[in-house]
Amino acid sequence: MSDEDKGGTGAPESPHGRRLDRRDVLLALSTAPALALFGYAWSRQRGYERKLTESVHPARVVPPDLSVINVGLLGVGAQGQVLLDSMLRIPGLRFRAVCDIWKEYNQKRAVNTLRKYKFEVKGYEDHREMLDKEKELDAVVVATPDFWHARHAVDCLEAGKHVYCEKEMSNTIEGARSMVLAARETGRLLQIGHQRRSHPRYLHCHDKLLGEAKLLGRIVTVNGQWNRAVAPDIGFPERYAIPADRLRQYGFKSMEQFRNWRWYKGLGGGPIVDLGSHQIDIYNWFLGAKPSHVMASGGLDYHDPKTHEWYDTVMAVYEYETPAGSARAYYQTQTTNGSQGYFENFMGDEGTLVISESEANYPGFLYRDPNAPAWDEWVRKGYVSAPRVQEARPAGQEMTLDVRESVSPDLHRVPVVLRDPYHQPHLENFFDSIRGTATLHCPAAVGYETAATVLKVNEAVEAKERLSFAPADFEVGA
């Protein structure tokens, strides 16, 4: 450093008044090579990570002649945004329209996001106006509050669009029925957003572990839960509040109700429908049956009844007559304690499967009953991981088991990981089905069966008695 650079703080004392010379420029740019070095290291690291990801999860091959699907979004609140984030990763989609009654916030955000991705999208408040003006739309993705699903889905189907509709299919069985009929009459596709149906881990368990290998033997009991910690009501920026007359026009009494519609009767179905629907759908799917009876206990035990109408705590027991015999399935959801989160636990006479959508918690554990046939064949085929080796305890620390206790079963893992957002495979299945290269994993009729199964729980809570299902409850008829 020159003397000039040795000021009181080490900075040049009097830099003004002197023309910039070559030395100034060189010193000014002297740290820029570090940025170039960073760029080189960064690109090497990115390449390494990409290679690693592709080796575990091969990239989806995009055919060069992939036809483009014109998509409209109907409802772009929190869930709509989740779906949009997934769809932005799917090739072959052209977003044309966004419809949301919260023009000042949700609609604006989604339109801006899509414009950043160079899509020419228009915003709408009224879905009928969108359907009238956007004749080129091939598909509409519906993520509005449950009580709007039937109207929105039916209008879109009748306008000739294929529809992906978030679960719960509808908050009423009549609404769900009208959706099945509309899909049937129009010949358009209607996929219900039970996204676990397309999750590769669930598909692997259903098709390979339960279907082909029958690892669990006969499933006799099932239990599952979605425990969620206490959360404050969802707020909103005051300056973007929707005017009261517009809220009323779309069925909401206030902004608070608009933001927290899931808790209100007539708008949503409460936590059992909101959360339980995903998992009870898996009960039906994995058991290969629909329930014969349900009993349930529930109540608004914790939250403020002024702002919460649905039960915050529900415990339900379903009875099934499966092709293999009787089975009972317990499910609980509560919103006062998030301990152990969410999972489904299928228990057969030869093994147990604990599974969830999450990659962090319960990403597929299998326990082989000590008396069950060996799973070596399935380990060799790669269907399940090798069992975890039990650690030998040091001498003097061995445990004494009571003779009545069962020996611990072997622990295996389901070796399937989803590296994409949870909803992406289900959306891909929808768009592939439109192109004719796949079939829907959760068509309207399946969504209807799940809606009939789940909506009955709230009825059972109210009735305080064991309710039975008739086979006709799961069929739409003509």
Partner 1 sequence: MSGDGGKLSGAAMASIVVLRVAIGWHFLYEGLVKLTKPGWSAAGYLMQSRGAFSGLFRWLAADASRLARVNSLTMWSLTLVGLGLVLGCFTRFASAAGILLILLFYLCNPPFVGYFYSIPMEGSYLVVNKNLVELTALAVVLTTRSGRVAGLDRIIHRLVGRRSRGE
Residue (89 or 248) nearer to partner 1, CB: 89
Total interface residues for partner 1 by CB under 8 A: 36
Single residue of 52, 78, 244, 386 touching partner 1 by CB under 8 A: 78
Q: Are the C-beta atoms of 274 and 335 separated by less than 8 Å?
A: no
Name the packing angle between helices 276-287 and 444-463 (round to 10°).
110
Binding of residue 381 to partner 1 (CB under 8 A): no
Considering only CA atoms, which of 144, 142, 124 is closest in space to residue 134? 124
Query: What are the tokens at 464?
Result: 């305080």
Residue 7 engages partner 1 in binding (rule: CB under 8 A): yes
Closest separation in Å from C-beta 100 to partner 1: 14
State how far the Cα of 418 lies from the Cα of 404, in Å rounded to an integer: 40
Evaluate the omega torsion of the peptide bond into residue 168 and state whether it is cis, within 30 degrees of 0: yes
* Nearest by Cα to 444 from 98, 87, 149: 149
- Work out whether 20 is an interface residue with partner 1 (CB under 8 A): yes
Beta bridge mates, 69: 93
> Does residue number 390 form part of the binding site for partner 1 (CB under 8 A)?
no
Shortest Cβ distance from residue 304 to partner 1 (Å)? 17
Smaller CB distance to partner 1: residue 89 or 115?
A: 89
Is position 238 an interface residue for partner 1 (rule: CB under 8 A)?
Answer: no
Binding string, 89-108, against partner 1, x = CB under 8 A? x-------------------
CB of 428 to partner 1, least distance (A): 15
- Using CB under 8 A as the binding rule, the residues of this chain from 319 to 348 that contact partner 1 are none
Taking CA atoms, 324 is separated from 216, 250, 289, 320, 330, in Å, by 12, 47, 10, 10, 18
Distance CA 343, CA 357 (A): 8
Q: Which is nearer to partner 1, 31 or 390 (CB)?
A: 31
235 is a site residue for partner 1 (CB under 8 A): yes
**Side-chain half-sphere of 179: how many Cα atoms within 13 Å?**
37
Torsion of CA 285, 287, 293, 298, to 10 degrees: -70
The reply to whether 231 sits near partner 1 by the rule CB under 8 A is: yes
Of residues 28 and 386, the one with the C-beta less far from partner 1: 28
Give the 3-state secondary structure of residue 296: strand
Which is nearer to partner 1, 102 or 285 (by Cβ)?
A: 102
Near partner 1 by CB under 8 A: residue from 10, 58, 64, 305: 10
Contact criterion met (CB below 8 Å) for 166 and 444: no
- Sites of contact with partner 1 (CB under 8 A): 1, 5-12, 15-18, 20, 24-25, 27-32, 34-35, 38, 42, 46, 78, 85, 89, 231-232, 234-235, 237, 421
